[in-house]
Structure 1
Amino acid sequence: MSSFKDIKAKSDKYLFQNYGRIPLSFDHGQGCYLFDSDGKRYLDLVAGIAVNSIGYSHPDWVKAVQDQAARMAHVSNLYHVEQQADLAERIASISPEGIDRTLFVNSGAEANEAALKMAVKYTGRHKVMSALNGFHGRTSASLGATGQVKYQSGFEPLISDAYEYYEYGDPESVKRMITKDVAAVLVEPIQGEGGVITADAEFFRTVRDLCTDSGALMIVDEVQTGIGRTGEWFGIDNFGVVPDAITMAKALGGGVPIGALAAKEEYAMTLVPGTHGTTFGGSPLVCAAGCATLDIMERENLVQNSKDLGAKWRRKISSIGSDKIKDVRGYGLMIGVEMDSPETASNVQAVCRENGVLVNVAHGKTVRLIPPLIIDEGQTDVFTDMLADIIR
């Protein structure tokens, strides 16, 4: 591998400078660890932003990808693709009751775009409701659904006036806004980019009831919360609510770019030939990776590990008992540690990195913990002890 200096110089010269990159470059990963260009090891509590849920270089996943690459990496959606059918069957088996049709795309933003197209075409309506402080992607329609000015600023001409924004977690806000013009209510089980913000079961049940009564589709964005992250296969499962459609991506492929829209058959049948498509979506390679990922998660009981270890980890962090920690929240292994200021959160991130632990800061002052689901208690204790030392 080239030196970090050479990698940075080439990046600075040839790449768009649209990322505020941390001064690190990684050579390889193993389990819950990444190794940089100088060979230093880091405990990764970011997991590629909730992507690498089975860790790095899992041998079963690697074999599945290698075997499929040797046979056929890509074939057009003009034909039937066996690996797509296999993965769709697996997704149906873990989804809420009745959600048993899947459309494959390449990312979470694309999944949300497809979901919105489906909702508008099915209902014939022209309004979409999404939450303030939410995040649904950076493509034009998904950016419109992202209720944060900082992401929309400068791109307003690309955003239609179809979007209206309710207060997340406030059922009365949704009730006041929903009308017969609303095609869909888009909601996250946890607002990840918004700072790991949670809502209670009453909120989700109310959204479900309002959508049923008004004829709008309830679409749950599980791009970050899905595939075991919250201690259930999908975040909405924590609240006993069945939506009309679910979007997913990130952890589904174990590290390869894949997205999916899963929906009830009545709505899925709206997208007939010619209404939506993608060249690369659902290739044999990424679907084989997705099948391997779900197989590993089931075999190694990673969803239950997320639930049990996540609850224990939140309790341990809360027990630090410092005024600098304002809140510890989340479900499973999606945890937000809200600090007293952006400066404190930034300092925690920097000191952890210096000491070989990677964390992420979301929405200014929340340290976001979204590690591989294979993580163990000893590894989570490394961060907890380090956090206690930093803030003391």
Structure 2
Amino acid sequence: MKFGFIAHPTSISLKRYVKMLDILQRTSHDLETGYQREIWQRENLIPFIDFCKIKSITGATCEGVIHYLPLTADEMLSSARTVQKRIFDGIETLHKEGAELVGLGGFTSIVGKRGVETANQSCIPVTSGNSLTTYAAYKAFCQIFDWLEIQPNNTQVAIIGYPGSICLALSKLLLDLGCQLDLVHSGAEKSKEELLKHLPDKYYSRVNLVSNIEECYQRNQLFAAATSSGGVIDPSRLQAGSIVVDIALPHDVIKVDSVRNDILLLEGGCVSASRQVKFGGESLNIALKQQINGCLAETIVLALEQRNECFSIGRYLEKEKVIEIGTIAERHGFYAYPFASFGERVEKDRVINLRRYYHRSLIANNYEVEQHQPTRREKALQRYRNHINPMMADFLHMQRCDEVFDTAKGCTLVNTDGDKYLDMVSGYGCLNLGHNPDNVVNALQHFLKNSTANFIQYVSVPQQTSLLAEKLCEITPGNMERVFFSNSGTEAVEAALKLAKAATGKTRFVYAKNSYHGKTLGALSVTGREKHRKHFSPLLPGCESVPFGDIDALQNVLEVGDIAAFIVEPIQGEGGVNTPPEGYLRKVQRLCNDAGCLLIMDEIQTGLGRTGRMFACEWEGIKPDILVLAKSLSGGLIPIGATLSSRQIWDAAYGTMGRFLLHTSTFGGCNIAAVAGLAALEEIYQQKLFDKAETLGQYFKSELIRITKDYPFIGEIRGQGLMLGIQFANDFDGAIEACAREFGTRLPGDWHLTYRFFPDEVKDHLSAAMTKMEESLAEMFCMRFVSKLNNDHHILTFVTANSSTVIRIQPPLIISKKEIDYFITSFAVVCEEMSTFLN
């Protein structure tokens, strides 16, 4: 059976979208056949989609087309009689094309006494689709009640748009569940008797007639709205925890720029087809199957059932028929979930997140409600989304990496379900000793148990902090005699920059491109990736970058003079685990010495045994002027950063009465952090973790090279010790252009000719967009490895900050060969599973 459907744009922007589709399809026709006058004639309806064949999960089939009546609701209201004729003409045209049933979308079903006149005069049956629209809204409320764990008979709902057909039918269904209703109507002139006559007498005690929506904001948290006017609900007036099931098109909720995270605005009256439902010739699992308006979905379902009948017409929708069409729709694979808000998908946890507002309210009203006890994972995700970074929560969810870990020991993380994960990230290099190392934990417990003095710096001398400073000066390369303690790597870098500037009196800094030194303003000024920098301009003046590993470029900059310091990482960690050419750092030191420029060595990620030496700069015998540490300095248990320098540099900067307190930190240099640092250093030396990192790192790297040599999408295994990077090289260059050319070739007419006459600015923007899209595809491929290692093998990995095509391998230095072998085996499996395009 074939159906036709007459839709209309519900906003000016959607009308312009339809206008764009019209000109594109006419142009395609023109390009294919050459100019013909009839192509560019005035049309009654605009062809939109030809489904060809729809197949439900039962095996039932139908076909159909959607045409647009290119008028908004306001435009239809201004000339209802003319519009009525255009609808009749449209039905006639669709009938001639083989349609046996026509669905009326949105306002087209209201014209003509809610479609009654249209049905009476039409040559074939028509339906408004309002029954399935109502059912979808009803099922949305049932799902909301379930997820909020509230009982309908203890719940009040405001219905905006009573006694319209959808609101009236929905009211009856919710009243059957036991809900209390505020029925908001616009007919102030109508009597109470007139408004209530639409409902059975038994419901009168549970409804309250309201003529002004203002009365509902403080009394209701749940709303359903289906007016014909749109824009009647002000989201700023809603109570916290409010949920609006907005069934109307145009939307009844006013669209605002600022979206509150303590309310939900759901598009009601929509259904989505399951994966098993097929819409014509689908490609790449892409079909318009999500958030289908109920009016269209009802037409499709009736066609699948071979029922060409006027199912939903007029004000009165029998609730039995609403349930009937909903049940049939579900049998064919059309469901009211997932939800969406202004077109964006809304997951279950967004609804669950609002439970607290309902249970608090119900308890206050002395209702007996069994409170839901969220799992630790649910609590953490809700709180993180609400109060920390909702975009990060969405990103991790999208990548299927939104685990919440409950406990950790060594190289193992345990999530809230008790599943064990191998940690190959180790806090981005913070956990050289693994999670919760016993000796550091014991030292901290002893410190706390004995009520040892902690925050006493700047009013007295902290003992443990002094010991840690002495120990660091003993073990670090160079003539280190002074230490400034802070709380993080970026603070250590800030201290280093200020120290260099104050000691030399010079104003400029040089840094390496693709470097990463932190995100505070000073550290960001010498971080070599524009993505991190561009939103915070202007940064510190006088900061110039040179390519990492390019000694000639550095020499050229230093010859200009007035350089306070060159800051560099021995290996660029966040830059993608990039190692410099052999001998580069030795040449750097010589150039800096000759130019009177201080050398700041950033060992925040490479230090403390990570690369096979206690400090990575020791591989080339470097003696930096200033050295910065953080991350694993406390065993990953206490925030700490350290900036070390010679006595001469320190005294030149801060060695006078007027300057010795110019740079301080409230928490930096506290005893408890120093206790952790001393214990961590002792353990690194006792276990000789730098030797272990060298030995296991060589094995690890060689095994990764061995198992990936036959996979061209792995570009390089690089790094040193247990600081390794897997560079992906899955090239998508030219893919988007090839896709565009294929479409341009396959589509009727000569679209390549059309593209040649696009404005140059448009072509430039398209070219840039294609390049970025191809880069994103390469990053997407890399992230699939992260997701698969996490989900299939319970191995935690991640990409580097400056390069999303490099997976970092930075496990705790205490990792065993057995754990490395497990990673090797698992990674080999993922490579094989992702090798679709290889021979």
The bucket for the TM-score relative to the shorter chain is over 0.9
Match of 2:605?
A: 224
**Partner SS, residue 654 of structure 2:** coil
Query: Quick one: distance in 1 between partners of 2:830 and 2:553?
Result: 40
Are 1:289 and 2:676 an aligned pair? yes
Residues 89-113 of structure 1: CA deviation (Å, up to 9, x unaligned): 2212221131232111111111111
Query: Quick one: distance in 2 between partners of 1:257 and 1:69?
Result: 16
Alignment map for 1:291-370 (pairs within 5 Å): 291-320=678-707, 321=709, 322-341=711-730, 342-354=779-791, 355-362=793-800, 363-370=803-810
**Partner SS, residue 583 of structure 2:** helix
Query: Quick one: distance in 2 between partners of 1:18 and 1:110?
Result: 26
- Give the alignment partner of residue 372 of structure 1, picking from 771, 792, 812: 812
AA paired with 1:142? A
AA paired with 2:787? A
| Contact 1:328 1:338 survives alignment (8 Å) | yes
Aligned length: 391
Match of 1:152?
A: 533
- Give the alignment partner of residue 9 of structure 1, picking from 382, 389, 393: 382
Are 1:68 and 2:471 an aligned pair? no
Query: Quick one: distance in 1 between partners of 2:566 and 2:413?
Result: 38
Alignment map for 1:1-392 (pairs within 5 Å): 2-17=375-390, 19=392, 20-21=395-396, 22-70=401-449, 71-72=451-452, 73-157=454-538, 159-178=539-558, 179-255=560-636, 256-269=638-651, 270-272=653-655, 273-320=660-707, 321=709, 322-341=711-730, 342-354=779-791, 355-362=793-800, 363-392=803-832
| Contact 2:566 2:592 survives alignment (8 Å) | yes
| Contact 1:65 1:285 survives alignment (8 Å) | yes
Query: Gaps spanning 5+ residues in structure 1: where?
Result: none
Residues 3-25 of structure 1: CA deviation (Å, up to 9, x unaligned): 31222112211224464544111
| Contact 2:576 2:808 survives alignment (8 Å) | yes
Query: Quick one: distance in 2 between partners of 1:141 and 1:377?
Result: 40
Match of 2:33?
A: none
Query: Quick one: distance in 1 between partners of 2:376 and 2:646?
Result: 50
Query: Quick one: distance in 1 between partners of 2:547 and 2:824?
Result: 32
Query: Quick one: distance in 1 between partners of 2:610 and 2:594?
Result: 31
Post-superposition offset of 1:74? 2.7
| Contact 2:478 2:624 survives alignment (8 Å) | no
Residues 149-199 of structure 1: CA deviation (Å, up to 9, x unaligned): 000121003x12221000001101101111321000000001111100110
Post-superposition offset of 1:338? 0.7
Query: Quick one: distance in 2 between partners of 1:10 and 1:123?
Result: 47
**Partner SS, residue 605 of structure 2:** coil
Q: Say what the alpha-carbon RMSD is for the aligned residues.
A: 1.4
AA paired with 1:3? R
Task: Identify the range of structure 1 (368-377 vs 87-96) with the bigger mean alpha-carbon deviation.
Answer: 87-96
AA paired with 2:384? S
**Partner SS, residue 61 of structure 1:** helix
Query: Quick one: distance in 2 between partners of 1:350 and 1:266?
Result: 50
| Contact 1:3 1:38 survives alignment (8 Å) | no
**Partner SS, residue 599 of structure 2:** strand
AA paired with 1:382? Y
> TM-score w.r.t. structure 2 length?
0.46
**Partner SS, residue 261 of structure 1:** strand
Post-superposition offset of 1:315? 0.5
**Partner SS, residue 54 of structure 1:** coil
Runs of 4+ deviating beyond 6 Å? none
**Partner SS, residue 164 of structure 1:** strand
| Contact 2:457 2:669 survives alignment (8 Å) | no
| Contact 2:437 2:635 survives alignment (8 Å) | no
Higher RCO, 1 vs 2 (CA within 8 Å, ≥6 residues apart): 1
State, as a whole percentage, how many aligned pairs show the same letter. 32
Post-superposition offset of 1:347? 1.5
Residues 262-286 of structure 1: CA deviation (Å, up to 9, x unaligned): 1111112222422210110021111
**Partner SS, residue 319 of structure 1:** helix
